[in-house]
């Protein structure tokens, strides 16, 4: 049995401005309140099968410390649950993960919603 990799290495971080722009113009969306996942397939030859970015709206959280806190939570829930995606995905894909509420949910609530969101994505894509 293969050991699950609970990490978030540098090559999995979404940094490409062109990919992010492409994601907003032609990406698909899946949502599970209060989280939203926008994704777009990557060209072949990219390092790694997943590129993930996180975002928390300035409109919902004025203080940078609050935004950073929720971005940390999103990255952590992704790190713990990414095996749900990596076990099923065959084509390299870029994801953007959004926290879209003013409510201050706990880590457990966000983690549960993340699992539901990833399952909904996999069902939508039927991988």
Domains of the chain: 12-125 (3.30.230.10)
Q: What residues contact residue 89 under an 8 Å CB cut-off, 6+ apart? A: 49, 50, 127
Give per-residue pLDDT as tens, 58-93: 999 999 999 999 999 999 999 999 999 988 888 899
What is the Cα–Cα distance from 115 to 113, expressed in whole angstroms? 5
Is residue 16 pLDDT above 80, yes or no? Answer: yes
Query: Using 50, 70 and 90 to split pLDDT, how confident is the model at 21?
Result: very high
Is residue 2 pLDDT above 70, yes or no? Answer: no
What is the Cα–Cα distance from 105 to 13, expressed in whole angstroms? 24
The confidence score (pLDDT) of residue 127 equals 54
The confidence score (pLDDT) of residue 38 equals 96
Q: How far is CA 75 from CA 39, 59, 65, 70, 89, in A?
A: 16, 20, 15, 9, 19
pTM score: 0.90
What is the Cα–Cα distance from 111 to 62, expressed in whole angstroms? 23
What is the Cα–Cα distance from 61 to 101, expressed in whole angstroms? 9
Give per-residue pLDDT as tens, 32-55: 999 999 999 988 766 778 999 999
């Amino acid at each position: 049995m293969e050991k699950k990799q609970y990490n978030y290495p540098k090559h999995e971080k979404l940094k490409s401005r062109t990919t992010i722009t492409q994601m907003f113009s032609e990406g698909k969306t899946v949502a599970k309140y209060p989280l939203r996942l926008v994704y777009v397939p990557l060209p072949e030859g990219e390092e790694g099968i997943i590129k993930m970015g996180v975002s928390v709206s300035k409109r919902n959280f004025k203080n940078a410390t609050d935004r950073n806190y929720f971005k940390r939570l999103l990255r952590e829930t992704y790190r713990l649950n990414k095996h749900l995606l990596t076990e099923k995905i065959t084509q390299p894909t870029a994801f953007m993960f959004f926290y879209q509420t003013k409510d201050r949910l706990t880590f457990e609530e966000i983690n549960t919603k993340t699992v539901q969101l990833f399952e909904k994505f996999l069902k939508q894509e039927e991988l």
